[in-house]
């Protein structure tokens, strides 16, 4: 369930039309796993907590800092006697 919530939140952020389609489906999934007795309510809450943690980490660590080193292919390698 956490994966569905994260996918929906990312779609809402980066591709809004898809996110708007996924939002009611994700909400239905969250409610149906409890109503259908596939999971306890605490499992749904734990899934939402995990999803929030993943989304927070994406916000914090999602972009590289300005001083990040260039990829190896773009760096000049020192060539000299071995």
Whole-angstrom CA distances from 17 to 23, 29, 55, 63, 65 are 10, 19, 19, 24, 30
CA atoms of 63 and 78, how far apart (whole Å): 29
Residue 69 covered by a domain = no
Residue 40 covered by a domain = yes
Residue 78 covered by a domain = no
Residue 31 covered by a domain = yes
Q: Are 5 and 20 in contact (CB under 8 A)?
A: no
- Dump the DSSP string for 34-80: HHTTSS-HHHHHHHHHHHHHHHHHHHHHSS--TTPPPPGGGSPPP--
Domain of residue 11 covers 2-61
Quickly state the pLDDT bin for 65 (edges 50, 70, 90).
Answer: low
Residue 82 covered by a domain = no
Domain count, the chain: 1
Quickly state the pLDDT bin for 50 (edges 50, 70, 90).
Answer: very high
How much is the pTM? 0.66
């Amino acid at each position: 369930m956490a994966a569905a919530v994260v996918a929906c939140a990312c779609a809402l952020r980066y591709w809004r039309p898809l996110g708007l389609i996924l939002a009611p489906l994700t909400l239905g999934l969250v409610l149906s796993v409890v109503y259908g007795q596939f999971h306890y309510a605490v499992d749904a809450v734990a899934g939402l907590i995990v999803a929030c943690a993943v989304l927070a980490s994406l916000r914090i660590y999602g972009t590289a800092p300005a001083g990040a080193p260039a990829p190896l292919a773009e760096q000049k390698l020192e060539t000299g006697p071995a």
